[in-house]
Amino acid sequence: MNSTQTFAQYLPQIINLASILLSSFVGAFLALAGNIIFKKLQEHGRVALYARIVHSQSEKHNTWGYYRSNAQTGLYLQIPIWLEVTNTCGVPRVLRDINLYAYSNGEEVAAFTQIQCIEDTNKIILGQNEAYTVVIPEKSCKRFGMEFFLHQPEMPTNHSAFDKIVLAYYDERDIFHAFDFATVETCWTEGALRRPKVWFRLKEQRVRHKQRKDAELPCAQ
């Protein structure tokens, strides 16, 4: 029996084996593609933010505005809000380090301080269990009470005034998302500001975010 006859004898087995291997590869590819498509479909949707400026839950019950502190010199800007986050995706979404930032001429000049809790007669928890990183389950909406402070003495000497306030967070991929929160007409004038009594949707914007230098980080102290 020559080689041609031998090859012809085993050709059906070779074709069958090749068919099995091809079917396996195609099956694996389709399974992988199906998983990728399913994941994309699950992630399809968006996160929408809605805010309402309210009165503080502290005993003073202040709304947003500039107030004088008994413990520190200068004024402080206090902003208490309700924040509603709607997640229409099929997977949970993470909003890390939700905060307010003061901007001047399109650049960040100062970050607010997040208030974890208010301790008056009773302890009032803010954020999500005192954290300003929150997890929003799939296809759900959650509301959080938050408060932010900005002290005048902590402002940079060359940028004590600002013209805009931005609300921002980092997502689960560590991407920075910034939203227009308020336009500032007057800075550091003592008294409450006019409070809009409605919910408003935050519009995402491209802003120039200040990258913290090593000297500004706690680990560099």
Residues 186 and 148 in one domain: yes
**Which has more confidence, 214 or 12?**
12
Per the prediction, the chain carries an average pLDDT of 85
Residues 179 and 102 in one domain: yes
CB 65 within 8 A of CB 192: yes
Per-residue confidence band for 221, with pLDDT thresholds at 50, 70 and 90: very low
User: In angstroms, how far apart are the furthest CA atoms of the chain?
Assistant: 106
SS3 of 83-103: EEEEECCCCCEEEEEEEEEEE
Query: 182-198, pLDDT tens digit by residue?
Result: 999 989 999 999 999 99
Query: 148-183, pLDDT tens digit by residue?
Result: 999 999 898 888 899 999 999 999 999 999 999 999
pTM for the model stands at 0.77
Query: 17-41, pLDDT tens digit by residue?
Result: 767 777 776 666 655 655 544 454 4
Residues 39 and 121 in one domain: no
Residues 30 and 102 in one domain: no
DSSP β-ladder status, 191-192 and 123-125:
unpaired
Residues 30 and 68 in one domain: no
Distance between CA atoms of residues 166 and 182, nearest Å: 7
Q: Is 215 contained in some domain?
A: no
110 pLDDT higher than 60:
yes
Distance from the Cα of residue 7 to its chain's centroid: 65
- Domain span including residue 16: 1-44
Residues 163 and 71 in one domain: yes
Q: Is 53 contained in some domain?
A: yes
